[in-house]
Chain A
Amino acid sequence: MSGPVPDPAAPLTPSGNLRRRQIFSRVAESGATVAAIIAVAVLGIVIYTVVSRGAAAISFDFLFTGTPTGIGPAIVGTGLIVAVATAIAMPLGILVAIYLTEFAGSRMAGPIRLALDLMNGLPSIIIGLFVFGILVNHRHQSGFAGSVALAIIELPLIARGTQEVLLLVPGSMREAADALGVSRWRSVLGVILPSALGGIVTATVLAVARAAGETAPLIIVDSIFDGKSVSLNPFEVVPNIPVTIFTLSEEANPEGFTRAWGSGLVLVSFILFASLGARALLARSKRKMPT
């Protein structure tokens, strides 16, 4: 047997091919770390700008009066539009989720799930065009049309989110209810839904957070307002925050920019608060889920 005799005193550092592979891997990893840091930095810069510039605009008048001093009516309006949208989308979404998990065979579930995914992937401006065609064309813009558009955006989010938690409800609970002779509808409404409640609320809040910031459909169906007074009739045009920001951002008026930053801060704090809260709630309800 011949060949190079290993030198027992050689240092234990890789050389040659292994060294090259390790360096390559390390370079790729640090590249990914740098990319990650940049992504977080962008988030930081955006939030910092909104907070620092928006804080200058926030005051009592800004939050509670109408144009030109404040955005009170738009805050109320966004609340109203989103509330109506959620009132439409939440029951529908939960029913669809119940159908998918409790009743549907695979032949029915496939197309419905596909429809939900397609709806979720639809550009929101298309939903705006659709609602304009059925509710606004030849009539007039309204907050209700905005709500219908936002409901279409919320529906797949609520349905898929609810479906996920319903699937987490242990089968033993369904079997226990069956064993006690409880009818299907009682076990769904009395056993399965209550134990999935935390997850359903989370899915809904996340959908609300997403809908509250949607601008594209509202530009088309609910955008012509002056924002001077509060409007609580959803069948009239209802002022809202996203369109306010968009309109102000298209005008070259520094004072308007300040108001837009302020509106942005109100909207972002609501959305971040809602989505962080919902995620915390989800983590908690998953822990409490019976196993």
Chain B
Amino acid sequence: MSARRKQFDRLGDGLLYGICLVASLLSVAIIVWIAYQVTKEAMPSISKFGLGFLTSQEWQPNFNVFGAGSLIYGTAVSSAMALIAISIGLYLSLLAPAGVRGIVAPLVELLAAIPSVILGFWGILILAPFVHEHIEPWLHDTLGFIPLFGPPQTTGASVFTAGLILTIMVIPIIASISRDLFLAVPRDVQDGASALGATRWEVVRGVVLPSTTSGVVAASLLGLGRALGEAIAVTQVIGAGSEIHTSLFETGDTLASRIANQFNGAVTELHQPSLYYLGVILLVIGLVSNLLAQWIGRRFDYRRFSK
């Protein structure tokens, strides 16, 4: 091999290593830059309202008064409904007979491919009227003694409908992640349990769940993060209310959907920074739930490979 060729190869090696390293560092830098930029744009509002922003329920752009209280409440409630989805997703992927899972899982994953704007549009025109005419009156009649299920309002645009849409969006994520977890439990351990006379429920409860707990929690957190940050579909069906109502059938709003809804119309000087402040809150919640999921998931990986 000639010396020139060797030199050329050394240059090539260095170059490839260099650009790969730069690309990788860039992706780390982007995350930091996003956090910095969003916080910077929010600064006027952060210094004006401070942490009181988190609890104040006033949101009056014309008077330059802003607070995220009702939005945090709306985000929490609609995401709590998505948590129900998480349990359904798990249940579905863990307990359904193998035949059903084989057919259903790919179809459910297709559900994840439908853009949120279309799901939201479907939510306004099809789901909301249906919920308003059938589900809300029924829930009110049977469970009306719980304040959450108040009398139905004029349209189907409500926190409840938003929660349903989020549920539909989160199920495929959970189902596909937890299916992988199920496959991670060695087949012979499951078969061993069956051979000892355990029923299918007992295999899941006694063998699969205990050895995948951290993975299950990590998957749930990821799904929850998705629900917290969904802006478009929620904007379309939640009705953009500004007050906290106990009843799920009233309108409400979430952090992400308030940003999507008002960003283009922001005129007063503190309006845009306040919307960025909402973004900061969302960013913090999102990063924390993600980091938590990573951390728990890593413990799961560790346990699996150390065996």
| Chain B residues whose C-beta falls within 8 Å of the C-beta of A68 in the assembled complex | none
Given known A-B contacts A183-B12, A249-B236, A260 and B202 have beta carbons under 8 A apart: no
B189 contacts partner chain A, Cβ-Cβ < 8 Å: no
Contact bitstring A239-281, B, C-beta under 8 A = 1, else 0:
0001001100110000001001100100110011001000000
Query: Which residues of chain B have C-beta atoms less than 8 A from A99's C-beta?
Result: 20-21, 23-24
Q: Does residue A103 face the partner (Cβ distance < 8 Å to B)?
A: yes
Interface string of B69-111 (1 = CB under 8 A from A): 0000000000000000000100110111100110010011011
> CB distance B276 to A260 under 8 Å?
no
User: Please, what's the 1-or-0 string for B26-59, where 1 marks a CB less than 8 Å from any CB in chain A?
Assistant: 1110110110011011000000000000000000
Count residues of chain B with CB under 8 A from any CB of chain A: 85
Judge whether A1 is part of the interface by a CB distance below 8 angstroms.
Answer: no
Q: Are A40 and B38 in contact (CB under 8 A)?
A: no
Contact B117 A32 (CB under 8 A): no
Answer whether residue A42 sits at the interface, using C-beta atoms and an 8 A cutoff: yes
- Whether, in the assembled complex, B146 has its beta carbon less than 8 Å from a beta carbon of chain A, the answer is no
B232 to chain A, nearest CB (A): 5
Among the listed B13, B92, B118, which residue makes an inter-chain contact with A183, where contact means beta carbons less than 8 Å apart?
A: B13
The interface-forming segment of B133-141, B207-215, B245-253, B259-267 is B259-267
CB within 8 Å for A126 and B282 given contacts A121-B225, A184-B13: yes
Task: Give the distance to chain A from B174, nearest Cβ to Cβ, in Å.
Answer: 11
- Chain A: CB-nearest residue to B8: A183
Taking CB atoms, residues of chain A closer than 8 Å to B92 are: 32, 35-36, 39
Interface of B is mostly: helix
Are B121 and A264 touching (Cβ within 8 A)? Answer: yes
- Interface SS of A by simple majority: helix
Contact A92 B16 (CB under 8 A): no
Looking at the assembled complex, report how far the CB atom of A237 sits from the nearest CB atom of chain B, in whole angstroms.
12
The tally of CB-CB contacts under 8 A between chains A and B is 256
Q: CB-CB < 8 A to A45: which residues of B?
A: 126
A220 close to B282 (CB less than 8 A): no
The residues of B that contact A122 with a CB separation of less than 8 Å are: 31, 34, 229, 283, 286
The reply to whether the CB of B256 lies closer than 8 angstroms to some CB of chain A is yes
Expressed in whole angstroms, the Cα–Cα distance for A148 and B153 within the complex equals 41
Interface hit among B60-68, B180-188, B287-295: B287-295
Instruction: Indicate if the CB atoms of A121 and B222 lie closer than 8 Å.
Output: yes
Verify if B131 is at the interface (C-beta below 8 Å from A). no
Report A's interface with B, CB cutoff 8 A: 21-22, 24-25, 28-29, 31-33, 35-37, 39-40, 42-43, 45-47, 49-50, 91-92, 95-96, 98-100, 102-104, 108, 111-112, 114-119, 121-127, 129-130, 132-134, 137, 152, 155-156, 159, 181, 183-186, 188-189, 209-210, 212-216, 219-220, 223-224, 242, 245-246, 249-250, 257, 260-261, 264, 267-268, 271-272, 275
Contacts A28-B95, A99-B20, A245-B117 aside, 11 further interface pairs with beta carbons under 8 A come to A29-B96, A36-B96, A39-B88, A46-B118, A123-B231, A124-B231, A213-B115, A216-B260, A224-B264, A242-B117, A275-B113
B residues with CB within 8 A of A: 1, 9-10, 12-13, 15-17, 19-24, 26-28, 30-31, 33-34, 37-38, 40-41, 88, 91-92, 94-97, 100-101, 104, 107-108, 110-111, 113-122, 124-126, 168, 171, 175, 199-202, 222, 225-226, 228-232, 236, 256, 259-260, 263-264, 275-276, 279, 282-283, 286-287, 289-291, 293-294
